[in-house]
Amino acid sequence: MRMDAETALKIKQLARENPTLFQHQIAALLNINQGRVSEVLSGRRFGDVKAD
């Protein structure tokens, strides 16, 4: 999966809706690197994308 705003939104939604999921589990679900998940959740990438 490509890392874009849509993917960032999915990451944030998964993390919010499933608080027991680890970053590596989210990465596996979306077939992306765990580092990208970390960057999105910390706000270093796509900080302007809101998962409201």
User: How far is Cα 16 from Cα 41, in angstroms, rounded to an integer?
Assistant: 10
Helix count and strand count (H, E) for the chain:
3, 0
| Distance, C-alpha 25 to centroid of its chain | 10
pLDDT of res. 2: 74
pLDDT by residue (tens digit) across 15-52? 999 999 999 999 999 999 999 999 999 999 999 999 87
**Neighbour count for residue 41 (Cβ, 10 Å):** 18
What residue ranges do the domains of the chain occupy? 5-42
SS3 of residue 36 by DSSP:
helix
pLDDT of res. 40: 96
